[in-house]
Structure 1
Amino acid sequence: MDEFDMLYDDWMSCKIKKIERNFTAKEFVALAEIKYPKDQSKEIDEKFDFLYEKALAAHQKIAMMMYAKSKFLEIQEDFESTQNMDIPALYGMGKTELLFYFESMIIFARNTLDIVAYIYSDLFFDQRMDSFNKFVKKIKKSESSILAELKQFYNELEEDEMSALKVLCGTEKGRALRDIIIHQANVRIGYYEYKKDSEKERLFLEVKDKKLIDIDFFIFYFTQEVIDIMELTNKCCKKQLQLTRELIEWER
């Protein structure tokens, strides 16, 4: 069985709804094969093997991110079924379980991007970076026309205060949500009325200096944006690698 053949249906669905497209990190292997064709030399084979292992690690991190999201939604549904949603009481193990899976989702998402930074920095720049933040900065400094679409995509995500890229990588002026989890405190979540004069309350994410964010909405777009980041970066990477290959062939 191929190591990338994982049953994503279980990890990308829950009792409430199925929200993700299929994505397999084996796509990274296909990109690595363009740059490092097998059986060319020992050095090339070693570089390919390195990227293969990183792709497999990214695939497993994606799976953990999806599993954490799915478990969060499952536990949220179970918890709320025991509550009077006019005045839900968020405390004890109910709150702990929700925080555990929500924070795990954030951390594994960042782990995923940092691992794929190794892959992208090699494929794009013949370098090895251990931070997706560093890779994004490198892209944004590039003057290559091939990277213009990707640069614009990253810029647009950074303009959105709660985009997955901003939540995971932050800015020079402040910490990312992931860094707050790791270095400072727990994520703040709580139940509030979701519209004026509502008799029911919903779960919200509380972020300093920002409006309350509906957890269901955040969960919906967050993991999908992580996938979007990799899909568009892959598309741009493939375009650059194919052009480079064509130039090499032409020079021959």
Structure 2
Amino acid sequence: MRKPTAIVLFAFLLGIAATCSAQSAEELKDSISAKESLHIDGVIENQKNLSLIQELEKCGNLNLKKENYENFLNSVKLLAPQTTLLILVDKTHSVGTNFDKIKYELYNGEPRLKMTPETLKAFKAMAAAARKDGIKIWPVSTHRTYTYQKGLFDRSVKRNGIEHANKYSAKPGHSQHHLGTAVDINSVENSFAYTKEAAWLAENAGKYGFSLSFPKGAEEITGYAYEAWHFRYIGTDAVEMQDKYFGGSQQKFLEFMHKCVFKK
């Protein structure tokens, strides 16, 4: 059982998330008053902040360097309101049919290619940057309904068996594509990993808030085979935190937010 002080500390964090959900990043930073300042001359000043950092560190099984304490806590506070954008969807966490009727926009007017407005804006900016580098990228699969995903999974089971399906396809309700923020880019073939487009994305996608969901060598962590084409929009601040504190692992980062910040 956690000590009462820990409960108070998490209440403090969630209170920030609730009151600042409509604020911009700059407004959120400004809302952290001077008395909550984390350090003076590199030394943590506020015991409440220090205790919160230690609680989060323990919860996420992290090993933070003390010089990173301030930036880490500021990142957590900044991302705490992003419960929908950073929702955990994987083999054990389902969104059911809750995202079947999300607010979306169409890519180039194509009814099959639906993304949330924020995702579409970021994708278009990324595609424009790629074109300047002589690279062409486009979406081939975006938002999927529960029913559509069920059809994909059932057909995969029928063709290749349940073990293969579980490795290469998500069960209905468990796909990131339900969110409208996941995009399969250019191809869904393994050969895509060896293209100049895949290399460009690996180098630049994070600058536009996109994160590779199923990296090579991370099968035991994600539960899925390597997919060089499957990116999820989580925002640039989230990508920065993912890369800095979680070794670039989207799965580990989202698990931390789910368990330690959103408390679900």
TM-score bracket for this pair, using the shorter chain length = under 0.3
TM-score between the two structures when normalised by the length of structure 2: 0.26
TM-score between the two structures when normalised by the length of structure 1: 0.27
Return the index of the structure with the highest Cα Rg: 1
Report which of the two has the higher share of strand: 2
